[in-house]
Amino acid sequence: MPEKIPVRLGNTLLESPMTFKQALRHGQSAMPEKLRREGFICRIFRSVPAIHGSDFFKINYLKPGLI
């Protein structure tokens, strides 16, 4: 069974821990319509406890080709 860990969207910690796939699905459904129209996509980042202080998934929106 995949591991469930806390999820952050912006500065908000979401209410329940999720698997990677659940976090991705939540991020895609929570994406503002304006970003979707502009071609942004959802990506999930997993933190490194030694660097970020805790273990969590971070939902990010990015536009391909800008990085």
Model pLDDT for residues 13-37, shown as the tens digit of each residue: 999 999 999 999 999 999 999 999 9
Query: Tens of pLDDT along 43-66?
Result: 999 999 999 899 999 999 999 887
Q: Are 60 and 44 in contact (CB under 8 A)?
A: yes
According to DSSP H, which parts of the chain are helical? 20-30, 33-37, 49-52
67 has pLDDT over 80: no
In this prediction the pTM is 0.87
pLDDT at 1: 77
C-beta separation of 19 from 3 below 8 A? yes
